[in-house]
Amino acid sequence: MKLTEIFKNGILKDNPVLVQLVGLCSVLAVTNTVLNAASMALAVIAVLVCSNVVVSLLRKVIPKKIRIPAFIVIIATFVTIVEMLMKAFAQPIYQSLGIFIPLIVVNCVILARAESFAYKNKVFISAMDGLAMGLGYGVAVILLAFIRETIGAGTLFAGTDFVINVFGKGYQPIAMFVGPSGAFIVLGILVAVFKNIIKKSEEKAIN
């Protein structure tokens, strides 16, 4: 499989959030700010790439009957490492993301890539698949957070020294957009728009 095809699938055709609709629990919870979304995206990318690499390295020695428990142990190990690093070096982000960091273990896309791709392919291509899927996840959550934070709080990069008041001090934020209902609304709109764009691009390619 070509690298261009892998990245096209991960970011566009098989985007884990906007197409496959997996891992939505954390997606809806952490996208109230761009900082939280970007931090979660980096964590997911790290776990995806590392777990894919290890699964690929061990694919010939992991018995087929116990592959799923083995995958979960590998994923949980890297999630624990990421969690410990965040706790040690990024305490505010660690506290903000809270329970959603360890919940990366049960993110469907990570286990699915280990099972459907890394267990059947060599190390480099498996690492690239993890990176592509992670980038697809990252693009989706950061875009969702950008819309929610901008409309719901009137800011960008809240929680950093580079916070921006997008609409000025007179703007009245629509707080609903940083709450659960706003998350569902924005995600639904993004999914509809994204699928429409993909459909039109596929039709154009056929014609």
The single-letter DSSP state of residue 177 is G
| pLDDT of res. 149 | 96
What pLDDT is stored for residue 81 in this prediction? 96
Looking at residue 162, its pLDDT comes to 87
Contact between 71 and 114 (Cβ < 8 Å): yes
Please say if the pLDDT value at position 106 is more than 90: no
pLDDT greater than 80 at residue 146: yes
For position 54, what pLDDT does the model report? 98
Q: For 121-131, what is the mean pLDDT? A: 96
Intra-chain end-to-end CA distance of the chain, in Å: 25
**What is the distance between the alpha carbons of residues 165 and 60, in angstroms, rounded to a whole number?**
53
Q: Tell me: pLDDT of 207 over 80.
A: no
Predicted confidence at residue 116, as pLDDT, reads 94
pLDDT of residue 184: 93
- Residue 107 is predicted with a pLDDT of 87
Amino acid 14: pLDDT: 93
Residue-level pLDDT at 205: 76
Supply the pLDDT for residue 31: 95
**Cα–Cα distance, 193 to 207 (Å, whole number):** 21
- For position 88, what pLDDT does the model report? 95
pLDDT digits over 44-92, tens only? 999 999 999 999 999 999 999 999 999 999 999 999 999 999 999 999 9
Judge residue 170's burial from the number of C-beta atoms within 10 Å of its C-beta, 0-12 exposed, 13-18 middle, 19 or more buried.
Answer: exposed
Residues spanned by the domain of 176: 3-206
pLDDT of residue 170: 84
**What is the number of residues in the chain?**
207
Total-model pTM: 0.93
Overall domain count for the chain = 1
Mean pLDDT over 92-99 rounds to 91
203 CB-side CA count, 13 A: 6
